[in-house]
Homo-oligomer: A and B are copies of this chain.
């Protein structure tokens, strides 16, 4: 019996996505209960993941109506999107929170590729303040505080959560499109910015703008938190 078929059978019957660790534990447990399962008692993580990846390729090649996906490091069978009309008729619409707005998606993209990242750094890339959006992303559990930056004021840094990977069906952050390229572009430190051209800085708009409609502006986009 081949490991990959055993893994396939497990994933085929599993009620939830399974991580390599859970699969290894299960192989061990089965080996204790059954003579037949003994040869797979101690499978190392590496060959196990290799078998899973081979299995995924098998199913990709077979090009059937379902595939083996790895989301946030856990494996499960999922249907191909083009069959959604029928599966929806069968199980009902998928319950999902409303789609993310454009600003939220842009902010999320920046955080995903550049994490850990401070709010000021994100604002620098987007060229606008992101308070409301950050709150939404945190409330939806897609983004979380991950630490503090080693700069003056020690501002919070943010990163994406496991739910982020799940929400977008990503295996890991490596699975983000063009991950390498987008990570490489350095983010200029915010404090160097403040000493440079004021026009590009992210200081509160009140301090920078000698313009009439500052009042209206602050209604819309509250000034960034001092934290």
Interface stretch of the complex, out of A5-13, A127-135, A145-153: A5-13
Protomer copies: 2
- Contact flags A10-44 to B (C-beta < 8 A → 1, else 0): 10111100000000001101100110110000000
Are B83's CB and A6's CB within 8 A?
Answer: yes
Tell whether A83 pairs with B33 under 8 Å between CB atoms, given A26-B89, A91-B15: no
In the complex, 22 of the A-B residue pairs with CB atoms within 8 angstroms, ordered by the A residue number, are A5-B64, A5-B83, A6-B83, A8-B65, A8-B66, A9-B80, A9-B86, A9-B87, A10-B83, A12-B77, A12-B79, A13-B87, A26-B86, A26-B89, A26-B90, A29-B89, A30-B85, A30-B86, A33-B88, A34-B89, A36-B85, A62-B62
User: Chain A residues in contact with chain B, CB under 8 A?
Assistant: 1, 5-6, 8-10, 12-15, 26-27, 29-30, 33-34, 36-37, 62, 64-66, 77, 79-80, 82-83, 85-91
Tell whether A79 pairs with B33 under 8 Å between CB atoms, given A26-B90, A27-B86, A90-B14: no
Which residues on B sit within 8 Å (CB–CB) of A5?
64-65, 83
Beyond contacts A10-B90, A13-B90: 9 other A-B pairs, Cβ-Cβ < 8 A, are A1-B82, A5-B64, A9-B66, A13-B87, A14-B90, A30-B85, A33-B85, A33-B89, A34-B88
